[in-house]
Structure 1
Amino acid sequence: MKVVILAGGLGTRISEESHLRPKPMVEIGGKPILWHIMKSYSTHGLTDFVILCGYKGHIIKDYFTNYLLYNADVSVNLGTGEFNILNHDAEPWRITMLNTGELTQTGGRLGYARPHLTETFCLTYGDGVSDVDVTSLLDFHFAEGRQATVTAVQPTGRYGSIEMDGNAASGFVEKPAGDHSWVSGGFFVCEPSVLDHIEGSETIWEKEPLQRLVRGGQLSVYQHRGFWSAMDTLRDKTYLEGLWSSGEAPWKTWT
């Protein structure tokens, strides 16, 4: 099964980093957040990736084209040009990187990948990490039998919540789980038929395609109550870096 990752946006809200590289290549613990997402999927046996590149996509291509070389012992004979990889610890991933255009919308990027998506596939964004159980998500999708499944999450609030009894504080909760509403956390599972709802490069996946699926009763919702975080801003990056540095990154489900 293929895992499709949207990795082509401009990342304007984290411009401190994205003026140098695409947002999915911003590093957490010395590795691009894109690598963290791929590790999460590979933990569940999904190792066939389709990365939808756009803004500064050549940086993503350069990284993975040279990934095996950088994670291997090599032997080079400069006289003959002979080159051998002696051993390596690179992950056994198959990675297809598609140049979907700098200004293409999310739905348009997905539509560009149509020739590669002939069976059920996973879809997510290149800037969010989670400890979602992808195996359970897939089981849920197949049991529900709809065209698509979206993972719903309850993001942690940015500020502490104060409970009051008159003018006296009766409780304080540091960064509670939002306002109890559910939002899309990405981590979709889709049937190829969802591609029929994409009309062109200007199609935004989160708008008309998903709305059509909702109207047709073809979108299931998988509720994830564990960890989820997007990396939209420099503050988010600092937060995720802190979790990784502490050795308590919840999304690190691999060994």
Structure 2
Amino acid sequence: MKVLILAGGLGTRLSEETSIIPKPMVEIGQKPILWHIMKFYSHWGFNDFIILTGYKGHIIKDYFINYYTHYSDITVDMSDNSLQIHTTRHEPWKVTMLYTGQDTMTGGRILKAKDYVGNESFMLTYGDGLSDVNLKKLLAFHKEHKRAITMTSILPEGRFGKLDIDDNNRIRTFTEKPKGDASADNAGWINGGFFVCEPKIFDYIKDGDETIFEQEPLKNLAKDKELYAYKHSGFWKCMDTLKDKKELSKMWVENKAPWALWDKNARDI
């Protein structure tokens, strides 16, 4: 099953870092947050990635093209311009990088992966969020309700999209970043990413590059009873600000990173 990762936004709230590199390449403990996300999916057996790039996407391409030299012991012989790779750290990943445009919205980026996805179910997430959600249980839940899309839903500080969920975990309405959503009456389950999708969601992306996935597509999927919530009460955090980055880095350095399921002492992996 393919995993689509949205990695093309500007990341303006992290402008201290993103003026130089794209947000998914901002480092948590000397590794890009994109690497952490991919290691997490790989832990659960998902190794076929489609990275949807945009802003400074060439940096992401260069990272994967040179991945083995980044994390391997090498000898460069300047006399004959030869390169010898010694100890290497292998990943079982297949990585497709799609340049989806500098200013393309999230829905437009997703739509550009349609031909690569084909008629298969796929996973989708944002390139700035980490969690310890059980992806096997998430997938099982998705297969059980047999609808177009499952959204992992979490209970954070209350600064993202609000969900209205019925007793069967179907999402009745979806509102992305409503005004005043920090108030008590707006506290509730929100969009945490880590989606499981069916190809029919492409039919809901109607305005091409201008489509914001979190607006009309998700609202209409909810209206058509095609959007379900997988409630996750464990760890979830979005790297939205420099403060978030520092908190995630502290967890990693102290070996207290809940998302690092592949190895509890994973700092050097």
TM-score, with length taken from structure 2: 0.83
The percent of aligned pairs where both chains have the same amino acid is 54
Partner of 2:58: 58
1:71 Cα shift? Answer: 2.4
Asked if the contact 1:72/1:90 (under 8 Å) is kept, the reply is no
| Worse overlay, 241-250 or 54-63 | 241-250
Partner of 1:184: 191
249, 252, 261: which is aligned to 1:253? Answer: 261
231, 234, 256: which is aligned to 1:223? Answer: 231
Partner of 1:164: none
Partner of 1:124: 125
Partner of 2:217: 209
Q: How does 1:138-157 map to 2 (within 5 A)?
A: 138-156=139-157
Q: Distance in 2 between matches of 1:249 and 1:139?
A: 25
1:201 Cα shift? Answer: 0.4
Q: Distance in 1 between matches of 2:186 and 2:244?
A: 19
Q: Distance in 2 between matches of 1:231 and 1:145?
A: 31
Q: Distance in 1 between matches of 2:19 and 2:77?
A: 38
State the number of aligned residues: 236
In structure 2, relative to structure 1, the CA distance for the partners of 1:210 and 1:248 (3 Å cut) is same
Asked if the contact 1:71/1:90 (under 8 Å) is kept, the reply is no
1:74 Cα shift? Answer: 4.3
In structure 2, relative to structure 1, the CA distance for the partners of 1:247 and 1:97 (3 Å cut) is same
Task: Kindly provide the amino acid, as one letter, of the partner of residue 198 in structure 1.
Answer: I
Q: Distance in 1 between matches of 2:27 and 2:76?
A: 30
Partner of 1:43: 43
Unaligned 5+ segments in structure 2 are 160-184, 264-269
Listed one character per residue, the Cα deviations across residues 45-75 of structure 1 (whole Å, up to 9, x for unaligned) are: 0001000000011111111110022223446
Q: Distance in 2 between matches of 1:122 and 1:90?
A: 23
In structure 2, relative to structure 1, the CA distance for the partners of 1:143 and 1:13 (3 Å cut) is same
1:241 aligns with 2:249: yes
Unaligned 5+ segments in structure 1 are 159-177
Larger Rg belongs to: 1
Q: Distance in 1 between matches of 2:85 and 2:255?
A: 32
In structure 2, relative to structure 1, the CA distance for the partners of 1:94 and 1:60 (3 Å cut) is same
Q: Distance in 2 between matches of 1:152 and 1:94?
A: 28
| Worse overlay, 244-253 or 217-226 | 244-253
Listed one character per residue, the Cα deviations across residues 153-180 of structure 1 (whole Å, up to 9, x for unaligned) are: 001479xxxxxxxxxxxxxxxxxxx975
Listed one character per residue, the Cα deviations across residues 199-250 of structure 1 (whole Å, up to 9, x for unaligned) are: 2000010011111111111111100000000000011111111111221111
1:198 aligns with 2:199: no
Asked if the contact 1:67/1:90 (under 8 Å) is kept, the reply is no
In structure 2, relative to structure 1, the CA distance for the partners of 1:125 and 1:75 (3 Å cut) is same
Listed one character per residue, the Cα deviations across residues 69-123 of structure 1 (whole Å, up to 9, x for unaligned) are: 2223446666766655454212121100010011000000000111111210000
Partner of 2:163: none
* Secondary structure of residue in 2 paired with 1:186: coil
Q: How does 1:32-181 map to 2 (within 5 A)?
A: 32-74=32-74, 85-118=85-118, 119-156=120-157, 181=188
Task: Kindly provide the amino acid, as one letter, of the partner of residue 145 in structure 1.
Answer: K
* Secondary structure of residue in 2 paired with 1:124: strand
**Which structure 1 residue ranges, 4+ long, deviate > 3 Å from structure 2?**
73-87
